[in-house]
């Protein structure tokens, strides 16, 4: 295999050469297979009731019931003495001359008919009363839904709604391209994705197994060429396009630091770069996509494409895996797998330029 490393002239970065093993496996397919296991099914917990033992019960004989006790009998266990006899008490004087009390006349009883009439009126009122509502309280929906809408530049606006998946990681899939994003606190996510198929199908999947799909037609896709580089974690990779020039960091250099303009692409003047994936999420799937309006280009020339890898403290002296996807004119989507052995950590801060990993674009004016 020919070496894919070249020290680029006039590059303003420090480029490192040599000590690199680069293997590219051609083939169409997915690099990162994933599985969505169903969430574990948990049995409902059955509340248990603790039995309380009663101790220290003193048996009581029924023969003692009614026996008189002195105020201290409860404490001493002795019975109180018998009460004094009342025979010696002086006789009470009898009162005389009290007038006789006339008994009060009985009040008339209410008529039976009146009672019956009132009772009937009460029953009628009860029958006309509305029964209390027994409708169950509404339950919040946890369904996941997603919509897709084609926009300018063969892009697609995705809108994801997952009310019960707030602030969670979600993986978006499209034609083998995958990237990780994070929903907001309400479980919503809005992201714009470059389409890789005219009949574009998108899949959103959560770690729990929840997910949704959306599809839309992207009729403008044949007018654009697209190149994708995707990886996992902090691989230090980046896609660079130099449009009609060999110069780095000039007006025609399109990369993540100078992403280009969708408006210029709509006019056929230049391309643009799209970064996908949540860089702050651990081990996130990330991708960069370069788009050029080949079908409406206003000039002839070449677009030079390279992949660069920065040697960092995270990836030094370790293998880095990545994948490229290329969509050109009427050709089918082409995929390449990449494994790159990064140099040792003494060269942290240097860059590796990987040429010929993706083919340059040859542009003809329309």
**Per residue in 190-208, pLDDT tens?**
999 999 999 999 999 999 9
> Which residue stretches of 65-209 are H helix?
73-76, 112-128
Region 89-99 average pLDDT: 44
Q: Which residues contact 264 (CB under 8 A, 6 or more apart)?
A: 270, 271, 272
Q: What gap in Å lies between CA 327 and CA 223, rounded to an integer? A: 11
Cβ-based burial of 153 (10 A; exposed 0-12, middle 13-18, buried ≥19):
buried
The pLDDT, as a whole number, for residue 114 is: 46
What is the token pair recorded at 364?
Answer: 């003809």
Contact between 297 and 361 under an 8 Å Cβ cutoff? The reply is: no
Could you tell me the pLDDT band of residue 1, with boundaries at 50, 70 and 90? very low
> Which residue stretches of 68-193 are H helix?
73-76, 112-128
Q: Which residues contact 262 (CB under 8 A, 6 or more apart)?
A: 152, 153, 155, 272
Listed by start position, the domains of the chain span 22-26+142-363
Any idea which residue has 């006349």 for tokens? 105
The answer to which of 69-83, 292-306, 345-359 has the lowest mean pLDDT is: 69-83
For the CA atoms of 164, 182, 321, 244, what is the dihedral angle to 10 degrees?
140
Any idea which residue has 């295999």 for tokens? 1
pLDDT reading at 60 higher than 80: no
3-state DSSP call for residue 203? Answer: strand
Phi-psi region of 244 (alpha: psi -120 to 50; beta: other; left: phi over 0): left
pLDDT in tens, 283-310: 999 999 999 999 999 999 999 999 999 9
Region 89-114 average pLDDT: 49
- Residue 308 pairs in a beta bridge with 238, 353
Q: What gap in Å lies between CA 114 and CA 65, rounded to an integer? A: 52
The pLDDT, as a whole number, for residue 190 is: 99
The pLDDT, as a whole number, for residue 2 is: 39
Q: CA dist 49 to 45, 54, 55, Å?
A: 13, 16, 19
Phi-psi region of 260 (alpha: psi -120 to 50; beta: other; left: phi over 0): left
pLDDT in tens, 9-45: 334 343 333 333 344 333 333 333 333 333 333 333 3
Region 41-60 average pLDDT: 37
Whether the full predicted model's pTM is greater than 0.85, yes or no, is no
Strands (DSSP E) found in the chain: 22-26, 145-151, 155-161, 169-174, 177-182, 188-194, 199-206, 211-217, 225-232, 237-243, 253-254, 272-276, 285-292, 301-310, 319-327, 334-341, 351-354, 361-363
Region 236-252 average pLDDT: 94
Region 108-114 average pLDDT: 51
- Residue 319 pairs in a beta bridge with 341
The answer to which of 30-44, 306-320, 337-351 has the lowest mean pLDDT is: 30-44
The pLDDT, as a whole number, for residue 231 is: 98
The pLDDT, as a whole number, for residue 9 is: 39
Average pLDDT, the chain: 76
pLDDT reading at 152 higher than 50: yes
């Amino acid at each position: 295999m020919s070496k894919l490393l070249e020290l680029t002239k006039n590059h303003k970065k420090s480029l490192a050469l040599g000590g690199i093993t680069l293997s590219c496996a051609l083939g169409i397919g997915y690099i990162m297979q994933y599985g969505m296991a169903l969430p574990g099914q948990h049995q409902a917990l059955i509340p248990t009731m603790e039995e309380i033992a009663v101790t220290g019960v003193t048996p009581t004989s029924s023969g003692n019931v009614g026996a008189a006790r002195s105020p201290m009998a409860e404490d001493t266990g002795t019975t109180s003495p018998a009460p004094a006899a009342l025979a010696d008490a002086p006789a009470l004087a009898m009162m005389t001359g009290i007038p006789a009390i006339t008994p009060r006349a009985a009040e008339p009883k209410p008529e039976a008919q009146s009672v019956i009439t009132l009772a009937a009126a009460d029953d009628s009122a009860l029958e006309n009363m509305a029964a209390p509502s027994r409708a169950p309280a509404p339950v919040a929906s946890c369904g996941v839904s997603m919509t897709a809408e084609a926009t300018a530049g063969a892009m697609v606006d995705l809108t994801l709604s997952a009310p019960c998946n707030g602030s969670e990681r979600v993986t978006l899939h499209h034609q083998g391209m995958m990237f990780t994003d994070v929903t907001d606190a309400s479980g919503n996510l809005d992201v714009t994705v470059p389409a890789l198929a005219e009949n574009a199908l998108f899949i959103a999947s959560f770690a729990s197994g929840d997910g949704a799909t959306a599809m839309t037609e992207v009729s403008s896709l044949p007018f654009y060429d697209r190149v994708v580089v995707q990886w996992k974690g902090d691989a230090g990779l980046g896609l660079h396009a130099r449009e009609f020039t060999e110069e780095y960091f000039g007006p025609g250099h399109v990369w993540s630091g100078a992403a280009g303009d969708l408006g210029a692409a709509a006019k056929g003047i230049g391309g643009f770069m799209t970064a996908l994936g949540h860089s702050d999420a651990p081990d996130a799937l990330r991708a960069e996509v370069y788009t050029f309006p080949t079908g409406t280009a206003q000039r002839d020339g070449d677009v030079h494409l390279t992949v660069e890898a920065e040697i960092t403290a995270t990836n030094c002296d370790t293998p880095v895996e990545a994948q490229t996807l290329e969509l050109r004119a009427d050709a089918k989507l082409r995929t390449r797998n990449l494994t790159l052995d990064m140099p040792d950590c003494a060269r942290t801060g240097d860059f590796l330029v990987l040429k010929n990993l993706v083919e340059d674009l040859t542009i003809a004016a329309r």
